[in-house]
Amino acid sequence: MATQRAPFIVPALKKHTATVIMAHGLGDSGAGWMALAQNWRRRGMFDEVAFIFPNAPMIPITVNFGMSMPGWYDISKLGRDLDFEEAIRHQDEPGVLRSREYFNSLIKEQIDKGIKPSRIVLGGFSQGGAMSLFAGLTSTEKLGGVFGLSCYLLLHDRIKNFIPKNWPNKQTPFFIAHGEEDEVVKFDFGKQSAKMVQELGVQDVEFHSYS
């Protein structure tokens, strides 16, 4: 069984009324993103918000010659020479679904603490962003927002199979951003993914490019 550490948490300083869940990328950890929340704390911003930085489990990664590292799902191919369709053909569906369940459990924990789903924002970077888009689109809870940075839409050819019939997040704001010179996840992957999210029927999709 893959080992997984508990999330890093930056608690709210005032009455806890909202939560941001921010997931890291391949090979990173939740600790790598805590500086964001700590910086806001020093500036007196978002004091009513708790920040959760989950840690991916240690799993064998094919592109890492099978060696284990923190990852939300396995990656068998990577690089700027891949086109989008080729890249998405090599996706670890079981791993994606396992991580989705974990993301769902983090959301449920916040709801159980009294935080309204509409006051929960889910997002992440690279692998964490890809998981956040997938988990947000397929969540049974109406979230406050979803964001994905330097990422892509997982299982896009079958994602409709995982979207709830009542689809609570059809009107949820989705923010997707990508660097034009990204050396790991091609810019086109992010751009195409934003278009696909719109084509699924999400009514509020914002895409930003950065040079």
More confident residue, 63 or 202: 202
pLDDT in tens, 152-199: 999 999 999 999 999 999 999 999 999 998 888 888 899 999 999 999
pLDDT at 84 over 80: no
pLDDT in tens, 31-71: 999 999 999 999 999 999 999 999 999 999 998 999 999 99
Give the global pTM: 0.94
pLDDT at 1 over 60: no
**Residue boundaries of the structural domains of the chain:** 8-210
pLDDT in tens, 17-30: 999 999 999 999 99
Return the CATH fold of 8-210: Rossmann fold (3.40.50)
- Tell me which H or E stretch contains 23: strand 18-23
Reference 147, options 23, 18, 10; nearest CA is 23
Residues 6+ apart with CB under 8 A from 44: none
Strands 174-179 and 145-149: parallel
Place of tokens 């935080």: 115
